Structure 1
């Protein structure tokens, strides 16, 4: 494939797929898990496969003083 002069190449589009059933439709949920001793809280995005209900965890961020 050749790119015309003056145009930038488009980035490749990737689609999330379930590693168990190869499904592509997901329900998005937000979750929080405290550390073992409760000093930190970890926020995660959960993508739940609508076909087999497998849960994919994506780590967002954590905060030492996050109390809500």
Structure 2
């Protein structure tokens, strides 16, 4: 059974970095397609995506409602 986003966020908040990898895997392709569409090339899209996922990870400790992730 697949974990919900909220369950994965909760696991990350309790120190499970692998759970964040699961979240990234879940959304990476969708966001990558959107980023390529918006930025026009794959390299810029990959860089923007990496920055976004890194910022999200660093900000996750401020997440008060994991179910809204």
Which structure carries more strand by proportion? Answer: 1
TM-score range, shorter chain: under 0.3
- Which of the two has higher C-alpha Rg? 1
Q: TM-score, normalised by structure 2?
A: 0.23
The structure showing larger relative contact order (alpha-carbon pairs under 8 Å, at least 6 residues apart) is 2
Which structure carries more helix by proportion? Answer: 2
